[in-house]
Amino acid sequence: MIALILAAFSIGALGSFHCIGMCGPLALSLPLSGNPGSKFIGAFLYNAGRVVTYAVFGLLFGLIGQSAALFGWQQWVSILAGLVILLFILLPKNIGKKSSSIVNRFFEYLRAVLGQLFFKKTKSSLFVIGLLNGLLPCGLVYMAVAGAIATGDVLHSVVFMASFGLGTLPVMWSVAYFGNFISLSIRQKIRKMYPYMMTIMACLLIIRGLGLGIPYLSPLSPSLQGKQMVVQGCVHLP
């Protein structure tokens, strides 16, 4: 469990610099006002809302991963998730922008609700802004979701997504509280690293799904482990 938390937190912490370019404008526009203590709480509530949404994602997609594990499909799901991430990176960007009218209307409605919440300037509205912000399309979140599904367990999936969200918290809270403190050139350099991070994550998911018998990295499937135990038992029979 500790290794799972550290992996998810690291993905969030490293990927949060990419979030500055994607969600930074929204964080910089948050209606934070009052004394430093009030601003501190407001920035925290906004980010807490994001973490809660990610944890709910962990619950929903964890059910999918657990169902796949029960049917013995977990390894295939892991490989498929890795391939989807690779396709997301390799395919032309304009393909990813094509979506159904229903999806477009949903995100338009979501942005309209976010715009209304910005005028309320209350602590509760900041938390709800964070909740809704977690629903906005983000490649980094998709990558985390793929990792959560691959855990094959609801609890592990929730912990994975919550840890991922907590990993993004330090940088995103700093952006909301202190403002745009990272220069454009640094953000551009970090953004160039983002596809490489996603590629590494995709390869790890594929390797995990292959069941190569490597502890922690690519464990054998339960069925193969059972066969291996049977063979070992037969070998040790007098």
Residues 85-131: pLDDT tens digits? 787 777 755 544 555 577 778 878 888 888 888 888 788 899 999 89
Beta strands in the chain (DSSP E): none
The share of the chain scoring above pLDDT 90, in percent, equals 13
C-alpha–C-alpha distance, residues 82 and 89, integer Å: 11
CA 96 to chain centre: 18
- Return the bridge partners of 214, or none: 218
pLDDT, average across residues 183-211: 71
pLDDT > 70? residue 157: yes
Per-residue burial over 180-197, b if 16 or more Cβ lie within 10 Å, else e, is eebeeeebeebeeebeeb
Higher pLDDT, 45 or 206: 45
Tokens of 69: 């594990």
Note the pLDDT of residue 51: 94
